Chain A
Amino acid sequence: DSGVTQTPKHLITATGQRVTLRCSPRSGDLSVYWYQQSLDQGLQFLIQYYNGEERAKGNILERFSAQQFPDLHSELNLSSLELGDSALYFCASSVLPNTDTQYFGPGTRLTVL
């Protein structure tokens, strides 16, 4: 158990819908990262937050947004869902942005039908 929690574990929804994925980092970790794992794209970085502020953006679609709250939990919002958005979404956390090790949560499996 890495100490990073993600809810829900599984999510099944329809095209065009909107969902919210939630992540709680390890106690004491200030930086949160979101990654997407799909069969065709592999593991890709989406976005990073540090202490409530966006720090870096990767291959995140405009239909996707995220935020980190004062209690340091983070949410990833996915809207106007398409079949291709079906993937495993991971949250990871580290103490500080420049701390080398990121610890991953168990992931949320999103299925878009």
Chain B
Amino acid sequence: AQTVTQSQPEMSVQEAETVTLSCTYDTSESDYYLFWYKQPPSRQMILVIRQEAYKQQNATENRFSVNFQKAAKSFSLKISDSQLGDAAMYFCAYRSGGAQGGSEKLVFGKGTKLTVNP
């Protein structure tokens, strides 16, 4: 079974600075997707960024980018120019690509609580 590990329960960053959240995963599949979801105090789960495992290029979305290291099974999230509104729980998630008959469910890590200091 696939597992996702977020080793940093809490992180803090100064406004306008850069922070990196770590995520590692374990899988024997070659076809899969990785995601970062943000959960602010409102509890809504918001998709931040996604990465297809077959793509070597790291995904970027405005101030958010990932460092995807497939061989190391690592998928970190970098937030540049941090803003107060970035304060939230961040969850890393794995989804099988389905080619090997894997489930389409999302497997989540336990989350990292990000605090942004003014």
Contact = CB atoms under 8 A, between A and B. Distances in A.
B104 interface: yes
A58 B2 CA distance: 13
A33 B95 contact: no
Contact of A107 (B43, B52, B95, B109): B43
A16 to B, nearest CB: 26
B91 A100 contact: no
A42 B103 CA distance: 19
Contact of A100 (B95, B108, B111): B95
Contacts, number: 60
Contacts of B50: 100-101
Nearest to A103: B47
B97 to A, nearest CB: 8
A9 to B, nearest CB: 10
Contacts of B46: 2, 104
Contacts of A45: 103, 105-107
A43 B37 CA distance: 12
B102 to A, nearest CB: 10
A40 to B, nearest CB: 11
A43 B105 CA distance: 11
B91 A43 contact: yes
A42 B52 contact: no
Given A42-B111, A98-B98, A104 B105 contact: no
A31 B106 CA distance: 13
Interface of B: 33, 35, 37, 42-47, 50, 52, 91, 95, 97-98, 103-111
Interface of A: 2, 31, 33, 35, 42-45, 48, 55-56, 58, 88, 90, 92, 94, 97-98, 100-104, 106-107, 109
27 contacts: A31-B104, A33-B104, A33-B105, A42-B108, A43-B91, A43-B106, A43-B108, A44-B108, A45-B105, A45-B106, A45-B107, A48-B103, A48-B104, A48-B105, A56-B104, A58-B103, A88-B43, A90-B45, A92-B106, A94-B104, A97-B98, A100-B95, A102-B106, A104-B37, A104-B44, A106-B43, A109-B43
